[in-house]
Structure 1
Amino acid sequence: MPQTSGAISLEHDTPELARSYDEAGLVQFRHGKFLIGPLAIKSGEHVLDIGTGTGRLAEFVADLVGPNGQVIGIDPLAGRIEIARLRQSDNLQFHTGRAEDLSRFDDRQFDAVYLNSVFHWIADKGGALREIHRVLKPGGRLGLNMQDPSRPHQSRALLRQAIAEAGLADHREDSNPVLGLTDDELRPLFVAGGFADYRASCAR
């Protein structure tokens, strides 16, 4: 299965990298809002943001759930959680953590879970999906997005656009692989994880 072995290193983050990630995250935030829409998050719901980074999208979702709901963001990189906690409020919390181990959370705790440009970095994708299924309430929703490896030229063009909009230098080569999974690769993972309904969509 191509492009499924990448995993985040806990040793390669620094305060400077975490700040740069936050500053360059506006395009990813925009894509995240597209992801959130179909989840139809409502006031009073409990939502888990896996791979929250510096918490920009989680803060947006916290406004959707309102004071009677709760959003929890987790990320394996402590430097990014440190920045995310500057956004923390009564209905928004952040913790270090990984998708493969959600043991801090109860069974059926969340109405919705989402991963914004994160799933391709997870080493044990099947284990992560089983954990997500466990913490979702019956009828709960899971949303994730990533680059489409079946459309590498479009994915690289969007990446170059994001880098340019962030005012950063592009040191990537066009020969670099697009990180992501195809629909045919995702579907059996979801079925094995216990999910009954799977839908895919594509957007620029």
Structure 2
Amino acid sequence: MNRGMNHVSKNITFDSDGVYRWAYELNLYKNPTILFLIWKIFGGILLALWLFMVVLEVIDDNLSLDNLFELTVGLLLFSLGFGLICLLGYLLYALIMGGKYCVLFEMDDKGIHHIQMKAQIKKVEAISILTRLAGAMAGRPGVVGTGMLAGARTSMYTSFADVRSVESCPGRNLIKVNELLNKNQVYAEDEDFDFVLNFIRAHTKS
């Protein structure tokens, strides 16, 4: 169901500085988006390596069907082993994180921030942080966002003016906001998903 641009829910706040803010708790076991991203990145690297090795064989005038088969099978076996290592590493990371990844977002007409806090927190704690900051900083635009960033471990900002494409993955509660070199992953609850997606699309060229 599509929602208007003034949407506010139990998950999303709209503060006096004109910014929408919300927290999302990603289940690392049920929603392995991060694992898929890791596989995609290293898959691209391994494909580039395969192409490089093929080019070297061509330059050496040593390329044949047998050599090509040997190169391909060897790299596939290496890829399977490396993929398994990535999976085990991801599962260890998920275990350390308690199976949850909590991220905060702030979004206005110009862009969107993806913010991971320094300490792993739960969604209810993140919402409490947003509420306290909004109350304490009421009437002082920009200070709430500054307070959030001060407690961040990592932060990615996407300017809507630089967005090349927007991809919707509602089954994973994921919206991919893609710039030329950066890809911001935005998450929203089911009841807020359409609003966030429509807001982003309304403010980008995609």
Q: TM-score, normalised on structure 1?
A: 0.25
Structure number with greater Rg is 2
TM-score normalized by structure 2?
0.25
Higher helix share: 2
The structure with the greater share of residues assigned to strand is 2
